[in-house]
Each structure stands twice: as structure tokens, then as C-alpha cells.
Amino acid sequence: MKAYEVVIGLEVHAELNTASKIYCSCRNSFGGVPNTQVCPVCMGLPGALPTLNEAVVEYAVRMGHALNCQIHTVCRQDRKNYFYPDLPKAYQISQAEIPLCENGYLDILADGEWKRIRVNRIHIEEDAGKLLHDDRYSGSLVDLNRCGVPLIEIVSEPDMRSSAEAKAYLDAIKSILLYLGISDCKMQEGSLRCDVNVSVREKGAGALGVRCEMKNVNSFRAAVRSIEYEAKRQIGILEAGGTIQQETRRWDDAKGRSFVMRTKEDAQDYRFFPEPDLGTIVLEPAKVQALRESIPELPGAKVQRYQEDFGFSPTEAMLIAEHKERAALLDACTELGKCKPKSICNWILSDVAKYSNDTGKPICETPLTAEGLTTLIEQVEKGVISNTAARQVFAVMMETAQEPLVIIEKLGLVQNSDRDFLEQLVTEILADHAKSVCDYKNGKTNALGYLVGQCMKRSGGKANPAMIRELVAKKLHE
């Protein structure tokens, strides 16, 4: 078999969380009784006129800045014509020739390597309604609540070469949307969706292969699976001497495969033309600049800072930075300067992340504070309590919201670092376990761990484990 390369481009649709919809004053919120958050504008009744919600433009421009795009200060909106029962106007207001943002990029970290993915464009558009299929009715029902919900579509260049890179790109986009606070990114509610373009070519070939577009990809996991499926399918066709047809395919996540929706021959012609009911969008340069300055430190910059200032590995830095809440906690903790940044990182990625996952609570909704966490870690670093005891204290902190020092005192967890006492303890244990001592001297080095464990046990877990280990080793070599 020849060596092939997979070429991937992604179109991400993100619903913006503005208070109202894009062209009317209806509330923009998920759920609600069907067809209750609607008005003549978003229902597409004849004669109703749209008015652009300025917040949508601001949100999109902020995303444009975050993805290093050029911002078009003069642009327009266009009608994309197609018929579908969830689209009452039979056209969607979108942007065709001149999008709000263009020619950007996003640096992603995949398999430990940085890679720059070019962003072709970001444009604003309105969402369509939703078809509901219910067994109690013979037909389908239409809910127009989602009509007119603002969307941005972020279109990448075909710069990704593996499903891992696509996943890293999607994770990075989602993280930035959350940092900017412009989308809820709830995939299960459809507020983040993507279309996946896949082609394959022989390694080293210059021209791109024929691509297929996959729709209905509703989770990042589905994106990864659909890319892997599609690459395999296309390589299979080429290896059998066939040619790839350009087509739009529907991903069926339950079946784990894609199906043809339409081929190039009947590809849709959307007959784009300028939206006559809306004026040109004109942005003041000062406004664009102010929006640029409103961008917080983003995950990519945080990763580099964590690596340079704190010596985190790229993966550790990314696991913290891409998670807004973890990064906020780490930043607050390191600012206090009470303990090593690396220790804070370890705690956040282990116990804190685990607690947050297990309880389903974001960190900000738990009783954990930067002050509490750093005080706890400080006690471990100073040798006052052991790591094991610290875990115990952490559990109580999360349950009772008490101060770590109070808990340590109450549970009597202060570890014993009294050298004379510990030496006496080790002498006793070695005398009681002569066989293990003999084993050790005969080369069974794991007897050391056993003896340390016995010392810890007899001390009720309070002996300083590092000192015990050192003393046991010393005495065994005497």
C-alpha cells in the first residue's frame, strides 16, 4: 500500500450567547416551550424587517482578534437561499463575499508539537429552527425558537493532517470561546457544531485530493471518529483503483459510518445576493481597537508563560491553560507565592480536577480558594504533613469549607519529624522483621519498601515518610 496523507479542514458553528437574537429582540436562550421565543421577524412573516444586534458584531470581532484575523470595517450581509422546513423565510441571512473577519490563524499543540492552522474567515449568520420528531404525531413538528439565534462560522484552511490535530484545533477554539465568554459551547444543546472536510493524497503530492464534507458531526469525539472513518474509506477506494467523488455525507455516530447526502452533480446553488433589508456594517477603527484591548490573556499565551516561568511541560501547561477555571485558580495561587508552581499544577490536575469531575461542579462552585489550596500545599512542602494526610485534609476542606490548618490540628495529622524518635522506631521495626532485613541483604531490594511501610503503619501514618525511608536505608547498609 502507498503512503497516504489525510487533509482536514473544519467549519465550526458557534452559537453566541447574546441576550437577544441577531435580528429581533426575542430572548436568546436554549429550551423553552416550542415557538414561544418568536416574533414576526424571526418567524419570517411577510413585511417584518430585521435590525442587526450590535452585540453580535462585537462578539464576532472579538473572536476575530483572538484568532489573529484581519477585521473588515466595512462589510455586508447576504441572503443564502435554500428551502427547508426549519427555515421559514426560505433564506438564511449570512455573509458571502466579505466576512467580518478574514485571514487569521490559530497555533495548536498536538502530539507535543506546535502547529499553525490558518483561519480562512469568520462570518456572522442566523441559526435555523429545529425539527422535532415525535412518535405521537404522524409528521414532524417545527420549533422556531432557535430561528435568529446568532452564530459565527469559523472556517479553517485545510491545514490539519490527523484526527489528533483536528481534536486539538476544536479544543482550542472551544477554549477561546469560553475565555471570551461569547458562547456556552454546549455541544449537547447544539451551541457548538462542526462540519468536517476530509481528503487524502499520496504523501508528498502537491495537489489536494477530492474532498468530502461531513455534516451532522455533533461532538469532538464524533469529529475524530468521522475523520478516521472517512480517511480509511477514501484510501480504500484509491487502493482499489477507484476515484473519489466530491460529495456531502451525513455522519451517523451510532452506526459509526457516513452516508451520501448529495453529490457534486446536484450540489446546492445558494444564489447569494446582498440582503436588501439591512444596511452595510461600518465599524469605527477606535471601536475595533477597543475590542482588541478587551481580549484577556488567551490559552496559547498562558501555555507559553507557564512553560517559561514555571517549567511546566507543554502538556501540563495546556491541561491547565485550556481550562479557564483551572488557569484562574493556578494564576491566583502562584500570585500568593507560598509554594512551588509545579506543586500547584500537580494538585490542580489531580485532586482538584478529580473532585470537579466527580461532583460535576465547576471549581468556582466548590469551597476551594487559592488561599486554602496554597496553605495546604505549603504544609506538605514544609514537611508538616505528608502527601497522604494532605489528600485527607483536602477531602475535608471540600466537604466542610474549613481552613486547612484547622483541619490538620483537629485530625492530629502533623507528621513526626523528630529524628531521635524516628530512629528508635526504625530500630524496633528492623528488629521485629529480621527476615525482611535478611531478604534485603540477599538482594531483594523491594524489602525496603515493605519495611518503610511497616514503620509508617506503626506510627499511625504520622512519621515523616522521607525521613523514614532515609533512616531505613541507612540502617540496612550499616
Q: Considering only the stretches 39-47, 337-345, 350-358, 381-389, report the one whose residues sit in contact with Zn ion under the rule CB under 5 A.
A: 39-47
Q: Which is nearer to Zn ion, 20 or 356 (CB)?
A: 20
The answer to whether 336 touches 347, Cβ cutoff 8 Å, is no
Q: Is residue 149 part of the contact set for Zn ion (CB under 5 A)?
A: no
Q: Considering only the stretches 4-12, 31-39, 67-75, 470-478, report the one whose residues sit in contact with Zn ion under the rule CB under 5 A.
A: 31-39
| Closest distance of CB 59 from Zn ion, Å | 18
Q: Is residue 320 part of the contact set for Zn ion (CB under 5 A)?
A: no
Q: Considering only the stretches 18-26, 103-111, 137-145, 441-449, report the one whose residues sit in contact with Zn ion under the rule CB under 5 A.
A: 18-26
Cα dist from 241 to 4, 211, 244, 249, whole Å: 14, 17, 10, 21
C-alpha span between 130 and 86 (Å, rounded): 6
| Closest distance of CB 25 from Zn ion, Å | 7
Q: Considering only the stretches 24-32, 112-120, 240-248, 352-360, report the one whose residues sit in contact with Zn ion under the rule CB under 5 A.
A: 24-32
Residues 251-310, interacting with Zn ion (CB under 5 A): none
* Distance, C-alpha 241 to centroid of its chain: 40
The answer to whether 145 touches 35, Cβ cutoff 8 Å, is yes
C-alpha span between 73 and 75 (Å, rounded): 6
Q: According to CB under 5 A, which one of 14, 26, 214, 318 is a site residue for Zn ion?
A: 26
One-letter amino acid at 90 equals A
Phi, psi for residue 181 in degrees, rounded to 5: 70, 30
| Closest distance of CB 264 from Zn ion, Å | 36
Q: Which is nearer to Zn ion, 31 or 443 (CB)?
A: 31
Q: Which is nearer to Zn ion, 26 or 397 (CB)?
A: 26
Q: Is residue 39 part of the contact set for Zn ion (CB under 5 A)?
A: yes
Q: What radius of gyration, in Å, describes the C-alpha atoms of the chain?
A: 29
Q: Considering only the stretches 34-42, 108-116, 190-198, 446-454, report the one whose residues sit in contact with Zn ion under the rule CB under 5 A.
A: 34-42
C-alpha span between 102 and 118 (Å, rounded): 10
Going 294 to 298 to 302 to 305, the CA torsion angle's sign is negative
Q: Which is nearer to Zn ion, 53 or 197 (CB)?
A: 53
Residues 42-101, interacting with Zn ion (CB under 5 A): 42
DSSP state of 97: S
C-alpha span between 430 and 448 (Å, rounded): 10
Q: Which residues bind Zn ion (CB under 5 A)?
A: 24, 26, 39, 41-42
